[in-house]
Amino acid sequence: MVRGRISRLSVRDVRFPTSLGGHGADAMHTDPDYSAAYVVIETDAEDGIKGCGITFTLGKGTEVDWSRKGRGAPGDSGRPKRGVGLVGQAGGKACLEVTCGHEKQMLAQGYPAYTTSCAWLGYSDDTLKQLCAQALKDGWTRFKVKVGADLQDDMRRCQIIRDMIGPEKTLMMDANQRWDVPEAVEWMSKLAKFKPLWIEEPTSPDDILGHATISKALVPLGIGIATGEQCHNRVIFKQLLQAKALQFLQIDSCRLGSVNENLSVLLMAKKFEIPVCPHAGGVGLCELVQHLIIFDYISVSASLENRVCEYVDHLHEHFKYPVMIQRASYMPPKDPGYSTEMKEESVKKHQYPDGEVWKKLLPAQEN
């Protein structure tokens, strides 16, 4: 039975001035403004059901998205379109029926997470220390630090974090594609003293054999390779897995086109016995990926061994159904849909360039 037909589609350029506080800064993106092309599909159904979707960008990429839409051309802004998921009371009130021990464990304990929020490259040492101390107070035991721009700076910052969190807590590193292959091996050989669990995106994301070479060199040092947030289809993941180029697989709920493409990658990871540790953060990525990790645990992997999902404590307040974090873990969402719906007041306020926020900021930036 058809519940309704599409009656209206809107696309809005929503940008958050994260660069003002150094949030999101890494070795490749020094001053990003986390942004999204926010799509809403309305229907003529009696219950008003609608679909909401997000293309996450760093600001300028949203304009690329829009220009391609205007030409009727496919393409991406550095992140392909995510499938638009229906939200609202689709099929009645949401209900999670507990049928097995895995579901009970997820409801009680959640899915383990790690934090990237305290160690962006744009933060001063004082800010890093302050945020790291707060994260420890909040119960976080897994931390990721951005590296790759300057080796001596990386050594200093990693020493600060390792001293604060101690030897027993987990540290990850993320170079955001900054290095070539020999440089990645040399750089991480020097950072190995800080005992990182992994180095994330050490080189170009589509260099399968390069990742394999780095993996072969670093695994004996106890450092795994994590990558996948920039991989846009299951074929690249298949090649990474076949080449033994990674020890931790990072799906991205916006990068891969649709839920179905993500599910095929989860199944391949299960076949190759590689843990899935999704990339998140950005605009709404945590809200989206929570559904995928819980499905992976309950229906595919049935394991939490070496599995953890990224969490960034930014911009959740702009979503109608924000992600829930308790005890450094993702708690299962209780609302129906894919958690993509943004608050209308937030969209209006941050719409570019005519929203209240940008009407104030743009003249100041020009001056």
Distance CA 6, CA 133 (A): 49
| Single-letter residue type at 182 | P
| Single-letter residue type at 184 | A
Helix axes 208-218, 181-191, angle to 10 degrees: 30
Distance CA 142, CA 165 (A): 9
Asked if 146 is an active-site residue, the reply is yes
Distance CA 315, CA 297 (A): 26
Asked if 29 is an active-site residue, the reply is no
**Helices (H), ranges, the chain:** 60-71, 101-109, 125-137, 151-165, 181-191, 208-218, 234-242, 258-272, 285-295, 344-350, 356-366
Distances (CA, A) of 278 to 94, 163, 220, 224, 234: 25, 27, 24, 15, 14
- Specify whether the CB–CB gap between 142 and 325 falls below 8 A: no
- Specify whether the CB–CB gap between 66 and 91 falls below 8 A: no
Distance CA 166, CA 8 (A): 54
Distance CA 35, CA 60 (A): 9
User: Of 232, 279, 314, 318, which is the active-site residue?
Assistant: 279
- Specify whether the CB–CB gap between 50 and 85 falls below 8 A: no
User: Of 50, 144, 146, 232, which is the active-site residue?
Assistant: 146
Active site (catalytic) residues: 146, 279
